[in-house]
Amino acid sequence: MTTQHTFTINVPVSQAYEAASTLGGLRSWWTSDIQGSPDKDGELTLGFGDGRGWTMRVTQLKLNKWIIWTIISSTFLSETPWTPTDLSLRFLEADGYSTKLILEYESRPDIEATFAPEWKKSIESLVLLCETGKGTPATPKREKKVI
């Protein structure tokens, strides 16, 4: 089942795309615990605390048009792995200034109820970052190593 969420961001497409396609941008709205390369064929590892996270490959990038990531490993649902799953962000010019952002992914009924609110929260954080300069990313606590 394909799930789609649509949002309007009151900034130009180029600004929304940059926030979603750079490490600094991703850390400012999605999760502060992100490592890797946001370039095409790069891999990004995202942490959300309590050992939950995933690694995704950047499978497609088209400047100011779209980003497609493929989740290649996940620690969210060990009993029903959510891999591989493609996540796509499409950026459309709405009125010469605003951006229509479309998040699309393949979902399963058994996990959609859990993840749909999280996706909405994450994209709303992206909207806040773009419109106010401050997003609300997940900020997992780093586990301290005991020596």
Question: What's the pLDDT tens digit per position in 35-50?
Answer: 999 999 999 999 988 8
d(CA 69, CA 2) in angstroms, rounded, equals 15
- The predicted model gives 53-61 an average pLDDT of 94
Q: Note the pLDDT of residue 16.
A: 98
Angle between helices 109-132 and 13-21 (to 10 degrees): 120
pTM score, whole prediction: 0.88
* Pick among 3.80.30.10, 3.20.19.10, 3.30.530.20, 1.10.3720.10: CATH of 2-132: 3.30.530.20
Q: What is the pLDDT of residues 80-96, one digit of tens each?
A: 556 678 899 999 999 88
- Given CA atoms 105, 59, 134, 9 in this order, what sign does their dihedral have? negative
Q: Which strand ranges, in their side-by-side order, compose the sheet holding 33-36?
A: 2-9, 99-106, 85-93, 66-74, 53-62, 43-47, 33-36
d(CA 139, CA 32) in angstroms, rounded, equals 5
